[in-house]
């Protein structure tokens, strides 16, 4: 989960920066138009994030570390993840878990061990949220495919945001299951003060 955490942070870090940059640009009406800069900014963000989303979905290769792969392995052996283990295992730096954490997130119909149908439902939700970006990554970003992508199949920024949100929520849930109740991994933070300081001085000196 430590490797998965690094990947998930790698999704949220550029999104935080991209959002802050968009706010800074939107707040300054004096900025001249620049098709090159805005195209570069948004295309680079979209392509790198699309690949990062797809990286979290690879569950076929046993050597590949991804959120989807972890969830697949959990679903295959739910009886190893018992309520007793959940309550007794505590990793330093994490808030201790509670009975409420267990019953709210993992008990389902089984109670004393992880209900695999919960994991199956979460895996379906992950696939649904990332479907368009997985297709876009396979046909247009990681590869250039001959197939024509229909308008309804084109990935959007709104869908990308949704995919990242779902990955973040599921990471938190299964980090809770395996390592602790309140993960110290920070996903949401505001980079705007740092960026404002950077853009407060002229970049080109005449």
Q: In this predicted structure, what is the pLDDT of residue 151?
A: 79
Q: Is residue 206 part of a domain?
A: no
Check: CB of residue 174 under 8 Å from CB of residue 70: yes
Residue 145 banded pLDDT, cuts 50, 70, 90: confident
- The phi, psi pair for 182, rounded to 5°, reads -125, 100
Residue 169 domain boundaries: 2-199
Dist CA 49 CA 14 (whole Å): 8
Q: In this predicted structure, what is the pLDDT of residue 181?
A: 55
Dist CA 117 CA 138 (whole Å): 29
Q: Closest Cα to residue 138, out of 42, 60, 63, 47?
A: 47
Q: In this predicted structure, what is the pLDDT of residue 136?
A: 84
Check: CB of residue 166 under 8 Å from CB of residue 126: yes
Q: Is residue 12 part of a domain?
A: yes
**68 pLDDT higher than 60:** yes
Residue 155 banded pLDDT, cuts 50, 70, 90: confident
Token pair 């996903």 is at which residue?
187
**182 pLDDT higher than 60:** no
Dist CA 53 CA 18 (whole Å): 16
Q: Is residue 137 part of a domain?
A: yes
Q: Is residue 40 part of a domain?
A: yes
Residue 183 banded pLDDT, cuts 50, 70, 90: low
Dist CA 54 CA 141 (whole Å): 11
Dist CA 27 CA 148 (whole Å): 38
Dist CA 163 CA 50 (whole Å): 9
Task: Dump pLDDT digits (tens) for 25-58.
Answer: 999 999 999 999 999 999 999 999 999 999 999 8
Q: Is residue 112 part of a domain?
A: yes
Q: What is the mean pLDDT of residues 159-182?
A: 90
Q: Is residue 205 part of a domain?
A: no
Task: Dump pLDDT digits (tens) for 89-120.
Answer: 877 767 778 899 999 999 999 999 999 999 99
Entry pTM: 0.90
How many domains are contained in the chain?
Answer: 1
Dist CA 8 CA 52 (whole Å): 8
Structure-block tokens of residue 2: 């430590």
Q: In this predicted structure, what is the pLDDT of residue 39?
A: 96
């Amino acid at each position: 989960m430590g490797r998965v955490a690094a990947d998930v942070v790698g999704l949220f870090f550029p999104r935080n920066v991209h959002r802050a940059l968009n706010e800074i640009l939107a707040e300054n009406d004096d900025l001249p138009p620049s098709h090159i800069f805005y195209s570069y900014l948004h295309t680079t963000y979209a392509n790198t994030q699309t690949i990062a989303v797809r990286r979290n979905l690879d569950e076929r290769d046993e050597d590949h570390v991804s959120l989807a792969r972890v969830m697949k392995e959990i679903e295959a052996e739910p009886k190893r993840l018992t309520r007793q283990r959940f309550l007794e295992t505590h990793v330093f730096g994490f808030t201790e878990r509670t009975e409420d954490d267990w019953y709210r997130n993992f008990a389902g119909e089984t109670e004393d061990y992880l209900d695999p149908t919960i994991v199956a439902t979460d895996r379906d939700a992950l696939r649904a949220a990332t479907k368009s970006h997985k297709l876009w990554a396979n046909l247009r970003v990681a590869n250039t495919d001959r197939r024509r992508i229909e308008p309804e199949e084109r990935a959007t920024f709104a869908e990308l945001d949704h995919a990242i949100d779902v990955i973040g929520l599921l990471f938190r849930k299964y980090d809770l299951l395996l390592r602790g109740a309140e993960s110290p991994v920070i996903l949401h933070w505001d980079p705007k003060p740092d960026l404002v300081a950077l853009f407060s001085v002229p970049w080109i000196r005449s």
